[in-house]
Amino acid sequence: MKIKTTILPPSHLSPAMKQFWVELTTEFDFSTEHLHVLRVTAEAFDRIQSARKRIAADGLMLDGRRHPLVGIEAKSTELFLRGIRDLGLEKNANATL
C-alpha cells in the first residue's frame, strides 16, 4: 500500500497558492518535473495578483504611458494558464480557483 505524504509548498508562495499547492499535491501524484511546473505556475499566479494590486493603485497609465506591469500581468497570466494546461488541470481549474 502506498502512503500519500503531503509535499510542503515553497515558503515564498502566497497563502492562497500554498493552499492550492497542498490541495493539488494531496489529490494528485506529481513527478519531480511536474512539481517544478506547479511551482512556476503558482509563482505566476502570485505575480498576477501583485501586478494587479499595483496597477489598481497606480492606474493603467503612468506618465502618459501604459503601466509597465500590464505586460507582466499579461505574460504571467499566460504562464499560469499554460502551467494549468501542462499539468492537466484545466477541468479542475474553475473549481479550485
Instruction: Read off the pTM.
Output: 0.86
Question: Tens of pLDDT along 21-38?
Answer: 999 999 888 999 999 999
Residue 26 lies in a domain: no
Residue 57 lies in a domain: yes
Mean pLDDT of the region 11-28 = 95
Residue 83 lies in a domain: yes
Question: Tens of pLDDT along 36-78?
Answer: 999 999 999 999 999 999 999 999 999 999 999 999 999 999 9
Identify the band that residue 15 occupies on the pLDDT scale cut at 50, 70 and 90.
Answer: very high
Residue 66 lies in a domain: yes
Q: Which residues of 24-60 are buried (b: 16+ CB within 10 A; e: fewer)?
A: bbeeeeeeeebbebbbebbbbbbbbeebeeebeeeee
What's the number of domains the chain is made of?
1
Expressed as residue numbers, the domain containing 66 is 34-90
Residue 45 lies in a domain: yes
Residue 67 lies in a domain: yes
Residue 4 lies in a domain: no
Identify the band that residue 90 occupies on the pLDDT scale cut at 50, 70 and 90.
Answer: confident
Residue 62 lies in a domain: yes
